[in-house]
A and B are shown apart, each in its own frame.
Chain A
């Protein structure tokens, strides 16, 4: 049912550690403030009930059973302090220091990358113990040494060894120093971005996973989160929070995984807001009619659904074939069919999602429109000829391949269904064989055991750079234990050079130019074909007031402490 699949690769889009870079893509601002798009005063009190499509597997945000977006949206950002938050300002995602810091951390690149965090003096945990540098230390050491950490990028180097140390000149100052010669350009993600800062005094010496996984009673944020397994997650205000107190008395996230039932629950008032994933039946529900509800459809998200040919396997090992393939599909029509009801009309034209527009050429793939004449000229120019069955053939081999995607995903099935006859008409024979997500991402892709994949890639933070997806060194091989993320098996030294610069270069303007150029190379090589931006869908009723706005990274509930119940 509705489930946004990021793919294991997507979450590892974070940079690997080489070279030095600095660069601040955030605008300076007072810690913890957000734009209030609603001028009216929000009343206090009341209980809000929200429908949640997925129950998290556990509350151990760092560990192997994490990676659930819903867990982060419902409970983590509400209870765990973050060094940096991704907030919405004027409709754009912007990085800002979290309420736990007094302001932007101090950054120097020489002699060694050093970041100094200044912790808010009033910041305390819910039991009254102050939030101190010790908590930063504990979190860093957990990320570096604990087994089954979900994503230790930035804390360890490419060999998995600790890459930074945290020292405490005083309790309210944390100094992070990278090893000499190493650095990490995406340092905004440290102690933020689905990790956060954990309370050392409550977890030191204990098995972190066991202690956290069933939920916890402490908080470093505006709310407490109580997890009633199978039923709901309940938020109640944390009286010891040093920032602005929430307006609501209680927020209940009720689990409801069937889309049709979820919409009925919304229409019948059993839930006041829902945040459905952009699945096919969700769009159908919206088409079926949603009177009197407020809704926000946001196509400017961090996730792109794309077609990923195996660039080293026949027939996609030929650039001409890849390009012809791109002209053989009517991407605009697919997007219109899938998301037209949500006012999403244009296909994604870059392998970088919209929120990374500053580090990409958002129109790099715009040239690939539906053009059968172009298909013919490209294929014949490369020595192909149409056989008696209307399928291209060269040296006795037909242009036949199999597309693989995650089974049970109706949107992807529909995409495949639309593509199949289109490609047939253009002379390509495509078979469909879907499988489980585990099999696809865990087995087929890393082994290169596929022809063409259909899945989404997304970013969980403002982390530019496609090197981990397209650099030659990221190709999974026996040597690196098949852990590379370039499962397209794409290799182009010119692109490599540029992508590495995006990762490493100190000069932000150089990063941006190189990123744009790299995008254009990827497009002309047709390394992969972006299809549609996966929109966010936020729906709420009249009962809910406040600056409700979708946040493609932190989710719709990023500022739920500012919401209220209409009187």
Chain B
């Protein structure tokens, strides 16, 4: 739609009023209606659902156990017995992908959740309360920005061993600053708006103002960022595996599988070792991001549809 047409304004729940207008539907119904129009998002939910069931249920659903080597069955292409082929140790790639997905998905989701929670809190509080709080929290944000993530990881890896937890904590520690800065910027500009003044004047507590008035208007960038973080975390894990700082054998992750397939990236003979882990990475990231887009559009009461 172009900018020239006058817009029919449907009755929308106006958060600036803090109360529903009589003719409007409930927030939830509006949300659902807007969301459903995003067909891609619906497909994404389905895909993500399938992935999560397959990966978290790998113990019961995978055709083989993890890390079952069968040297005689090594280096096979896709077949009925091994739909995604086998690697040089004869491990069934379909099963490996499912077990690997468990780790990759966990890392992506955990990092996103953790960093979003921390980042939003710090950013909002810093911006809203200003002055000393802002300075301290901004300094903290800067500190985490400056702290070298790779050093953290290299050390964490030496002390706690390779595993998901150090990776999750370190990636989250890097990612929250991203969101804190953005949220802070948004809240700073929203803080001066009339509806906030109005709410303050009507005696609402800081917490209420933040949670009910300001943050809902920030949901757009927050959602985009959260979904972006899932994508970035999953692909950061791939980069770390490439550098040898990620998940270690016998555990596996999509990133590690892709890193181990590095010699075959440009060959046609063992394309399946590169393609399937990469494909999993891709559709997961795509699905999560379409979901985020849809959530943002659906939650932002001012967007058109």
| Chain A interface (Cβ < 8 Å from any Cβ of B) | 259-260, 263-264, 281-282, 284-285, 287-289, 333, 336-337, 407-408, 410, 413-414, 417-418, 420-421, 432
Candidates A264, A337, A407, A432; contact of B244 at CB < 8 Å? A407
Contacts of A414 in B (CB 8 A): 89
**Which residue of the partner chain B has the closest CB to A336?**
B71
Candidates A285, A337, A420; contact of B250 at CB < 8 Å? A420
- 24 A-B pairs in the complex with CB atoms less than 8 angstroms apart: A260-B266, A264-B266, A282-B263, A284-B88, A284-B263, A285-B263, A288-B264, A288-B267, A288-B270, A289-B267, A333-B71, A336-B71, A337-B71, A337-B88, A337-B89, A407-B244, A413-B248, A414-B89, A417-B250, A418-B69, A420-B250, A421-B67, A421-B68, A432-B250
Most B CB atoms within 10 A — which of A259, A287, A408? A287
Taking the closest CB of chain B, its distance from the CB of A208, in whole angstroms, is 35
Q: Does B249 contact A (CB under 8 A)?
A: yes
**Which residue of the partner chain B has the closest CB to A281?**
B263
A129–B249 CA distance with the chains assembled, in angstroms: 58
Q: Does B265 contact A (CB under 8 A)?
A: yes
**Which residue of the partner chain B has the closest CB to A282?**
B263
**Which residue of the partner chain A has the closest CB to B273?**
A284
Q: Does B163 contact A (CB under 8 A)?
A: no
Candidates B89, B262, B267; contact of A418 at CB < 8 Å? B89
Q: Would A417 and B262 be within 8 Å (CB), given that A289-B267, A289-B269, A337-B71 are in contact?
A: no
A65–B244 CA distance with the chains assembled, in angstroms: 25
Q: Does B74 contact A (CB under 8 A)?
A: yes
Interface mask (B239-283 → A, CB under 8 Å = 1, otherwise 0): 000001000111000000000101111110110000000000000
Q: Would A260 and B265 be within 8 Å (CB), given that A337-B71, A417-B69 are in contact?
A: yes
Contacts of A333 in B (CB 8 A): 71
**Which residue of the partner chain B has the closest CB to A259?**
B263
Candidates A259, A264, A337, A410; contact of B74 at CB < 8 Å? A337
Contacts of A259 in B (CB 8 A): 262-263
Contacts of B270 in A (CB 8 A): 287-288
Whether the pair B269, A288 counts as a contact (CB closer than 8 A) is yes
Whether the pair B244, A408 counts as a contact (CB closer than 8 A) is yes
**Which residue of the partner chain A has the closest CB to B268?**
A289
A193–B293 CA distance with the chains assembled, in angstroms: 65
**Which residue of the partner chain A has the closest CB to B265?**
A260
Contacts of B71 in A (CB 8 A): 333, 336-337, 418
**Which residue of the partner chain B has the closest CB to A285?**
B263
A414–B89 CA distance with the chains assembled, in angstroms: 9
Taking the closest CB of chain A, its distance from the CB of B190, in whole angstroms, is 47
Q: Would A284 and B264 be within 8 Å (CB), given that A337-B89, A421-B69 are in contact?
A: yes
A310–B262 CA distance with the chains assembled, in angstroms: 36
A414–B67 CA distance with the chains assembled, in angstroms: 12
**Which residue of the partner chain B has the closest CB to A264?**
B266
A440–B201 CA distance with the chains assembled, in angstroms: 68
**Which residue of the partner chain A has the closest CB to B264?**
A288
Taking the closest CB of chain A, its distance from the CB of B240, in whole angstroms, is 12
Taking the closest CB of chain A, its distance from the CB of B6, in whole angstroms, is 57
Contacts of A264 in B (CB 8 A): 266
A408–B244 CA distance with the chains assembled, in angstroms: 6
A47–B270 CA distance with the chains assembled, in angstroms: 35
Candidates A263, A408, A420, A421; contact of B263 at CB < 8 Å? A263
Taking the closest CB of chain B, its distance from the CB of A121, in whole angstroms, is 52
Candidates B75, B88, B249, B264; contact of A413 at CB < 8 Å? B249
Taking the closest CB of chain A, its distance from the CB of B267, in whole angstroms, is 4
**Which residue of the partner chain B has the closest CB to A334?**
B71
A264–B71 CA distance with the chains assembled, in angstroms: 29
Taking the closest CB of chain A, its distance from the CB of B85, in whole angstroms, is 14
